[in-house]
Structure 1
Amino acid sequence: MNTVQIKNFLVIAEIGSFTKAEETLNTTKTALKKQIDTMELELEFPLFVRSTKGLYLTKAGQVFYDKVKDMYQSYLDTVTECKKIYFSNTRDIRIGMYSITEMLNWYMDVERNSHFKIQQILSTANTHEYNFRMLMDGSIDFLEYEDNEQLYRRGFCYTKIIEDDLCCIMSPNHQLADYKVIHPEELCGYQIFCWTAKSSATRALFGYVDKLGWNLKGLPYSVETILNVCNEGNIYILSRNSAAMFHPLRVIPIAPRIPYCRGLVYKPEKEGLLQEMLQAAKPKRS
């Protein structure tokens, strides 16, 4: 027996009709009858007398109604009280972001399992200096970012949350569009773009530039940019989860696998707060 059944029972008893109760409860008469049948089987006594003259409580049903009504109201009062306690303790966490990413699911898990409320702050200036300054002056608690050497040079900490794979995105008309996987040497001779300039986050990519002579350039991420690049016959390299939204463009994995990690940058004094978040939701791994 659950709270929905109890609530419906109380309404039916007060109204005295399945037909009228279905309008109040926004469900069907058949569903309500089945719920009452289930309750009566569980209780092992009838709650209602059903006749052509109407629906009314049995003696046992009346006692059950009187007791349960008080208990149900006490339950509702307790839930209300607990919600007030919970929301009075809710803490906002401000996270700076360049764009909406696959980390949203992790943020939702944190909120679902804790008293934290995630406030996503999209950067108004797509520059490292601007976002680091927000982190330094306390405008944000964390910065969603890639693992990057310059973070540590500035005294920040970094924790990986999501691990993904890099893929190639291209037009369905591209010469490589029918490949199941693409090997690095097969990208030689093509114009390739990725979301950032040379950094530790893209070290593997620029390693192929040095080794195989890739024609690779950094080009800031945006939906319009990627569509234009690919429709012009070029290739854009992006994480697998982010690339999934670009259907009907072709998304082809690179082999051997090139991992891509995304996580949170923070000042050392925010370590305790991050650990609370990690206890509420485990990092995602592909």
Structure 2
Amino acid sequence: MYNKLLDTFVAVVETGSFAKAAEKLFITNTAVMKQMNNLEEQLEFAAFRRTSQGIFLTEAGELFYQEALTYMALSKEIIEKARKVAATNQYTIRVGTSFLNPCKAIMDLWSKISDTYPQFKIEIIPFDDNKQNILTVLDSLGTTFDIIAGSCDSKQWQERCQYYELEPLPFCCAVSREHRLAKKKSLTVSDLDGETIMMVKKGDSPANDAVRQLFIQSDSVISLENLPNFYDMSTFNRCSNTSNVLLSFPQWKDIHPNLVTIPLEIDPRSSFGILYPKNPSQDVVEFLKCLNI
């Protein structure tokens, strides 16, 4: 693609002055002069003769001007052809999103590179991720939608899809705004002495099981309330309506207006990333490559 300084160069040549070129391009006279000085530095020769009667092309500048017109026209033709090809080879990637598994992380990644890959379009597909149907949702990867973002430490989840980790996921505790711990900036296990911790039952999540063992082996007196393997809105409502502490994650900090999410200072981490089908389509494979996955 041609250097944008060529647009200013051609405007100067065709108007015969820096001032008129600036007016045509809706920029300042100073900006035009700086751009032309920059261009001549890159070219390593003088394109203009600056005199009291005006500015004129040097012999080298005249040759450059003629060749630049040809080059710019060819560049525009190439770009137009490429755009037509991109328009006829559009691929739609369906991104699932829900209350507990929002697509923001994927869209943040995509926004940084979308201009480079115009052949892909994103379609956001909402889904309901209550604890009764989340496994059915995962079975729909590749049919209803192509990818979703979420934590994936569940053995049942991993049986149903492939997974690419974007980052380790620290554990937090969610408590009601009236809870004695609500104003804490962070929590240690000893801070939880005397509390009832709501967390998923043992067996499906190695990371949760590691946290469970940490609570059991600590010197603090901590009661554990077993939850189903997957949370839904009723889980957060129960935490809000009791004095219990809910083992949670940072991305859920805004799920419930009456809950405060506080970092938990422990070593075990879960995992956050992109879930996609066991046998993804070629479109999805190419899209994931764009994301460097």
Instruction: Indicate whether the TM-score tops 0.5.
Output: yes
Q: Residue 57 of structure 1 aligns with which residue?
A: 57
Whether 1:74 aligns to 2:71 is: no
Whether 1:268 aligns to 2:278 is: yes
SS in 2 for 1:159: strand
Assess, with a 3 A threshold, how the Cα gap between structure 1 residues 229 and 11 changes in structure 2: closer, same or farther.
farther
Q: Residue 186 of structure 1 aligns with which residue?
A: 191
**One-letter amino acid of the counterpart of residue 38, structure 2:** T
| TM-score normalised by L of structure 2 | 0.70
**One-letter amino acid of the counterpart of residue 272, structure 2:** R
Q: Residue 13 of structure 1 aligns with which residue?
A: 13
SS in 2 for 1:256: coil
Assess, with a 3 A threshold, how the Cα gap between structure 1 residues 53 and 69 changes in structure 2: closer, same or farther.
same
1:239 CA drift (Å): 2.6
Assess, with a 3 A threshold, how the Cα gap between structure 1 residues 102 and 189 changes in structure 2: closer, same or farther.
farther
SS in 2 for 1:117: strand
More deviation in 270-279 or 4-13? 270-279
String of CA shifts for 1:129-185, please: whole Å, max 9, x gaps.
Answer: 66246437x1222344434333366xx223133332122355788543565542234
| TM-score normalised by L of structure 1 | 0.71
Q: Residue 134 of structure 2 aligns with which residue?
A: 128
**One-letter amino acid of the counterpart of residue 20, structure 1:** K
Whether 1:150 aligns to 2:153 is: no
**CA contact under 8 A between 1:166 and 1:237: conserved in structure 2?**
yes
Q: Residue 104 of structure 1 aligns with which residue?
A: 107
Assess, with a 3 A threshold, how the Cα gap between structure 1 residues 149 and 112 changes in structure 2: closer, same or farther.
farther
Q: Residue 47 of structure 1 aligns with which residue?
A: 47
**One-letter amino acid of the counterpart of residue 220, structure 1:** D
**One-letter amino acid of the counterpart of residue 29, structure 1:** N
1:59 CA drift (Å): 3.8
Sequence identity (%): 23
**CA contact under 8 A between 2:171 and 2:269: conserved in structure 1?**
yes
Assess, with a 3 A threshold, how the Cα gap between structure 1 residues 102 and 56 changes in structure 2: closer, same or farther.
same
* Alignment RMSD (CA, Å): 4.2
More deviation in 77-86 or 127-136? 127-136
Q: Distance between the aligned counterparts of 1:234 and 1:57, measured in 2?
A: 80
SS in 1 for 2:280: helix
**CA contact under 8 A between 2:203 and 2:209: conserved in structure 1?**
no
Question: Which structure shows the higher helix fraction?
Answer: 1
Structure 2 portions without partners, runs of 5+: 217-221
Q: Alignment length, in residue pairs?
A: 273
